[in-house]
């Protein structure tokens, strides 16, 4: 990778890592639906002019329906689920749980697309989910509220990312990623609009919460997508996906700096084990890399 690509990769990891403490700050005041309506709306406003300027709208012709599906399963649903999880989980814990997304992606691709799982990738899945189990051990009870529901919501959000990756590969291979990303943000905005209006906060959110929303929309969605697409173009999708390994570290750093969160030894151990499993399951180490799917984002938030 060239120095500029390495800088883009680090910036992207830092920006997406910051989304977790920002959600932790803004979600309690806005709620998951209103927060993400504003986030994806701002993201769409950043991406659509860029898409139009590059003449990319024509690239989506004949694929709008499939892109709208991606907007629901890759943006609207997981964003809401992950935002809800930060109401009950620390930002760092939620970020580490999100590393399960590539694990789900490997399983869904095997079941749906027939991607081959060699011994190393199967071992990686086992190791990765063992890391997730290490994280949640002792926190999950038979309950439909609090921490248990938040963990379930977070893992359901990562499953949505896994499904979206295979759906995008099956239905949108060859469609410009920027077109998929921009139009899917518009679709997510339209889906979230009535839900956000029905749950709009009665009390005006604070300036701190509004600042969090603006950064989430402009930086963690708009600017982050631009960096990600540039990285794909310059370094290739297989290298761009490496950002998934930087996000937890940056999330923990930002959460400690701005929220005073201190990771526990169990969190750090679970993070290391999960990332090791992810590296094996996705073929980044220990075997031949699986073909990369064209998708709007690598299972992050």
pLDDT band at 2 (very low <50, low <70, confident <90, very high): confident
- 148 confidence band (pLDDT: 50, 70, 90): confident
Please provide the DSSP assignment of the chain as one string: --HHHHHHHHHHHHHHHHHHHHHHHHHHHH-HHHHHHHHHHHHHHHHHHHHHHTTGGGGGTT-HHHHHHHHIIIIIHHHHHHHHHTTTS-HHHHHHHGGGHHHHHHHHIIIII-----HHHHHHHHHHHHHHHHHHTTT--S-SSHHHHHHHHHHHHHHHHHHHHHHHHHHHTTS-HHHHHHHHHHHHHHHHHHHHHHT--SSPPPHHHHHHHHHHHIIIIIIHHHHHHHHHHHH-HHHHGGGGGTHHHHHHHHHHHHH-----HHHHHHHHHHHHHHHHHTTSSSSPPPPPP--SSSS--
Give the pLDDT score at 294.
44
Statement: residue 206 has pLDDT above 90: yes
Global pTM value: 0.89
């Amino acid at each position: 990778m060239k120095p500029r690509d390495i800088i883009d990769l680090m910036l992207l990891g830092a920006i997406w890592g910051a989304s977790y403490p920002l959600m932790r700050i803004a979600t309690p005041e806005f709620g998951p639906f209103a927060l993400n309506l504003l986030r994806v709306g701002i993201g769409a406003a950043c991406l659509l002019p860029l898409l139009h300027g590059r003449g990319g709208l024509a690239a989506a012709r004949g694929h709008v329906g499939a892109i709208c599906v991606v907007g629901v399963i890759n943006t609207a649903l997981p964003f809401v689920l992950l935002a809800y999880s930060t109401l009950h989980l620390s930002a760092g814990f939620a970020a580490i749980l999100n590393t399960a997304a590539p694990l789900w992606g490997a399983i869904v691709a095997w079941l749906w697309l027939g991607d081959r799982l060699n011994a190393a990738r199967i071992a990686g899945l086992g190791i990765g989910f063992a890391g997730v189990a290490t994280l949640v051990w002792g926190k999950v009870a038979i309950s439909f509220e609090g921490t248990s529901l938040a963990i379930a919501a977070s893992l359901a959000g990562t499953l949505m990312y896994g499904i979206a990756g295979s759906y995008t590969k099956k239905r949108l291979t060859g469609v410009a990623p920027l077109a998929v990303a921009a139009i899917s943000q518009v679709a997510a905005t339209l889906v979230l609009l009535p839900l956000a209006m029905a749950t709009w906060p009665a009390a005006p959110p604070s300036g701190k919460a509004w600042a969090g929303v603006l950064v989430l929309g402009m930086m963690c969605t708009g600017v982050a997508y631009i960096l990600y697409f540039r990285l794909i173009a310059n370094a290739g999708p297989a290298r761009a996906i490496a950002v998934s390994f930087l996000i937890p570290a940056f999330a923990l750093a930002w959460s400690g700096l701005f929220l005073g969160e201190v990771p526990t030894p169990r969190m750090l151990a679970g993070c290391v084990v999960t990332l090791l499993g992810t590296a094996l399951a996705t073929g980044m180490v220990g075997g031949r890399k699986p073909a990369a799917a064209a998708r709007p984002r690598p299972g992050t938030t």
